[in-house]
Homo-oligomer: A and B are copies of this chain.
Amino acid sequence: MTNETMNIREMCDTFGVTPRTLRFYETKELLFPIREGQKRLFTRRDRARLKLILRGKRFGFSLEDIRQLLDLYHMNDGQEAQLSRSYELAKSHLADMEAQKAELEDAIAEMKEQMAWGENRLAELARKKGAAA
């Protein structure tokens, strides 16, 4: 079975981050590794959270945004008010993400167009060079 806990080095290797990053995320209350003496032990929960954190970052969410969203993913026994707040927050982020997706599709299409133009220009230049030889 997947080890119950990981030390800081295993975490770093697994997720491609530095120790500093993990400690930083802890101070920001994004991760809650348990302690064995002084040393941090990262649980399955921490790994799940870190995965979501890194994903969130790729979409341009701030760590603070992410921290609040993680509440939705890891709320087992939240109060109604809290749960409802997280839910609204998630709704707004979902809207963001869907807007981002639409724009991304546009951008991809445009980029492809530009690249096609570039290809033509390059082909043209190649033809000229070939003719000159």
Contact = CB atoms under 8 A, between A and B. Distances in A.
Q: Please report whether the interface of chain A is mostly helix, strand, loop or mixed according to DSSP.
A: helix
A57 to B, nearest CB: 9
Interface string A73-92: 10000001001101100110
18 contacts: A55-B107, A58-B60, A59-B107, A60-B60, A72-B114, A80-B125, A87-B115, A90-B111, A90-B115, A91-B115, A93-B111, A94-B112, A97-B108, A97-B111, A98-B108, A101-B104, A101-B108, A104-B104
Interface of A: 55, 58-60, 72-73, 80, 83-84, 86-87, 90-91, 93-94, 97-98, 100-101, 103-105, 107-108, 111-112, 114-115, 118-119, 121-122, 125
